[in-house]
Amino acid sequence: MRSSRSTPALMLLGTGSNVGKSLLVAGLCRLFADRGLKVRPFKPQNMSNNAAATAQGEIGRAQALQARAARIAAHVDMNPVLLKPESERGSQIILQGRVAGHLSSGDFSRRGDFLPKVLESFERLSDGADLILVEGAGSPAETNLRARDIANLGFARAAGVPAVLVGDIDRGGVIASLVGSHAVLDAEDRAMIRGFAINRFRGDVGLFTPALDTITRATGWPSLGIVPWFAEAARLPAEDALDLARGAPARAGALKIAVPVLPGIANFDDLDPLKLEPGVELVFVGPGSALPGDAALVILPGSKTTLRDLARLREEGWDIDILAHRRRGGHVLGLCGGYQMLGTIVRDPLGLEGPAGAAPGLGLLDIETELTPDKTVREVAVEHSESGTTGRAYEIHLGASHGPDRARAPFSVDGRPEGARSADGRVVGTYLHGVLTSDSLRRAWLEDLAGKPLAAGQAYEPAVEATLDRLAEHLERHLDTAALLELARSRS
């Protein structure tokens, strides 16, 4: 194995969270992979409940997309530390793909203890690679967290990886955020940043040219490009729950699907294929709003904290809305944690997702669930019980569910029934994520729900691939990719 120090690498930092780093890394992965380079994405530490299953364990969904963009299989070394929020004050630790305990917000300095594992994963990932593209987390200018940082410049300095700082002009204040970041960093941290880029620009780029000079004079960093708004980003799996507002638009005569957004919502990219269906209107319902009475289907998505989210669902009155929807003949689909909520009771005797306890479910499925320490993380081949349609899916969950409605399982995995269905077929639950990416399965299910043929939608997987290709072309036009590659190769 050659030393990771000899592998070209470049880190993309952001002036804040959700500035588009994940998307930029994905686009650059596709761009350089298509030039024939062996590219691998890496994020030292991620904080997200949107996870993906790999053959070795779980990682952040964004790194799985970046691996796909690089045309390679996802691996746990691409995201060695994944923090999955369980409350406002603590997270579950996923270390190199496996559960490794809990981290409270008051003990965040412990993150520095994970640096040896982060560097170990980076070393393995570097072996045989032509280029590593590293994504930071949040902002490197959070000086209160710098002493034990492993996500941004703490990693960059430990691994000797040069960085580019990305600012998001769409949220405003991009000049101040870039110059301000420079101002609060110490000299050694500043030296790791070799340039800056502007993301999500709308309008006439020429109007911003004087600002580039302002930033360069104040920081000494050269501009590496201005990336215009890429509207097609909505077609790619989102990492952050902040992106949930981008549902499918209202369409006359469309099949309306309502999704209550709960605090612990997880793996919400399960819903992305529905956004590409012209016959579907996907509505995300936030706190303080009732579920729409004209919805044909209510989906309870995955949850990292099932009991907490079940309590919040009741606080919002959404349990009343769902039961009324059911009485009107509506359909309900529960995915993973949402599946658990549909049963008669959910038990967490060991306090695996919060305080130990139990609570009655919505009672729409005759099943009981108990959370247990063994976590299921796997990719599977799945068959739809009614149509015989096959596809791929994955599981990431604690515990198991049992009860009479499991006898009418909607799917089978390895010849065994998976999930549960009510006697009239209007309520369905499953632990499987990603089943809706199967175009034939999704289409048969939607048309059965609507009771009529629907206009043909886009094939989901080819749409994702085409969007990644167009993103790479977009970045090639607007970023100085030669300079980025030169920076990566200048690493020592």
How many Cα atoms are found within 13 Å in the side-chain-facing hemisphere of 199?
Answer: 29
- How many Cβ atoms sit within 10 Å of the Cβ of residue 456? 11
In whole angstroms, give the CA distance from residue 308 to residue 337: 11
Identify whether 384 is a catalytic site residue: no
**Identified catalytic residue from 384, 433, 474, 478:** 433
DSSP-derived letter for residue 431 is S
Nearest to 89 by CA among 105, 100, 78: 105
d(C-alpha 184, C-alpha 178), whole Å:
10
- The CA distance from 155 to 149, in Å, is 7
Q: Is 476 exposed, middle or buried (0-12, 13-18, 19+ CB in 10 A)?
A: middle
> Rounded to an integer, what distance in angstroms lies between the CA atom of residue 302 and that of residue 436?
14
Residue whose structure tokens are 């990603």: 434
Partner residues linked to 418 by β-bridges: 411
Provide the edge-to-edge strand list for the sheet that holds 131-135: 39-42, 131-135, 9-14, 163-168, 193-201, 223-228
Count Cα atoms within 13 angstroms, Cβ side, for 165.
31
Candidates 29, 75, 331, 336; catalytic one: 336
**Beta pairing, strands 331-335 & 302-303:** unpaired
CA angle 482, 486, 488 (to 5 degrees): 120
Q: DSSP letters of 337-392?
A: HHHHHTSSEEEETT-TTSSSEEEE--SSSS-EEEEEEEEEEEEEEEEETTT--EEE
Q: Is 29 a catalytic residue?
A: no
Q: Using alpha carbons only, what angle is made at residue 471 by residues 141 and 129, rounded to the nearest 5 degrees?
A: 70
Q: CB of 59 within 8 A of CB of 67? A: no
Least Cα distance to 81 among 24, 121, 52, 53 occurs for 121
Q: What token pair was written down for 135? A: 């994504």
Q: Are 367 and 344 spatial neighbours (Cβ–Cβ below 8 Å)?
A: yes
DSSP string, 211-273: HHHHHHHHH-PPEEEEEE--GGGGGSPPSSGGGGG--PPP-TT-EEEEEE--TTEE-GGGGHH
C-alpha–C-alpha distance, residues 279 and 64, integer Å: 29
Residue 32, CB-side half-sphere exposure with 13 Å CA sphere: 31
Environment class of residue 358 by beta-carbon count within 10 Å: exposed (0-12), middle (13-18) or buried (19+)?
middle
Determine which helix (DSSP H) or strand (DSSP E) holds 191, and give its type and residue range. Answer: helix 187-192
Question: Could you list the active site residues?
Answer: 336, 433
